[in-house]
């Protein structure tokens, strides 16, 4: 390899467990970010179950002959059905939010793709190498005074 950056990158990528550790950390952060949404879905599901149980109780009560509270029960049932509809929509919105999150990174696949990095750089011309370097380093934050190659 003719460039110190390329050598450093190849050496870093080939360290045992290095990339797997980074990928595990990224996946853990993604899971941590999704935890509140999943918790909210659980709460919504619990409340929907409560509402459905109350509705079933009211239906049983209405089925009894001679009940004097039918109007009150029917009004309460309408409120519960409206709340259930709102919660169902909220649950769907939360599920869409979960579906819109990135998939977990696949460490073995990434390692497989990086395995031939040295070979790729050996056959790349100067322009291709420059483009590859730009793609690799454009999103890497570097703290002042901590950059080294």
| Torsion region of 106: left, alpha or beta (phi above 0 gives left; psi -120 to 50 gives alpha) | beta
Q: Average pLDDT for residues 49-63, to the nearest whole number?
A: 82
pTM tops 0.75, yes or no? no
pLDDT tens profile 64-115: 665 566 777 778 889 999 999 999 999 999 888 888 777 777 777 777 777 6
Residue 9 burial class via C-beta count within 10 angstroms: exposed 0-12, middle 13-18, buried 19 and up: buried
Q: Report the 3 state secondary structure along 21-43.
A: HHHHHHHHHHHHHHHHHHHHHHH
Measure the CA–CA gap between 19 and 104, rounded to whole angstroms.
14
């Amino acid at each position: 390899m003719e460039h110190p950056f390329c050598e450093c990158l190849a050496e870093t990528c080939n360290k045992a467990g290095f990339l797997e550790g980074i990928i595990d950390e990224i996946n853990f952060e993604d899971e941590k970010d999704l935890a509140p949404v999943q918790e909210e879905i659980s709460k919504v599901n619990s409340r929907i179950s409560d509402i459905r149980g109350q509705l079933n109780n009211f239906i049983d009560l209405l089925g009894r002959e001679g009940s004097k509270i039918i109007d009150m029960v029917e009004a309460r049932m309408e409120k519960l059905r409206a709340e259930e509809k709102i919660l169902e929509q909220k649950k769907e919105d939360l599920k869409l939010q979960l579906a819109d999150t990135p998939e977990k990174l696949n460490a073995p696949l990434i390692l497989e793709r990086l395995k031939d990095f040295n070979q790729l750089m050996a056959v790349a011309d100067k322009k291709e190498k420059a483009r590859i370097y730009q793609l690799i380093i454009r999103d890497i934050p570097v703290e002042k005074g901590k950059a080294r190659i």
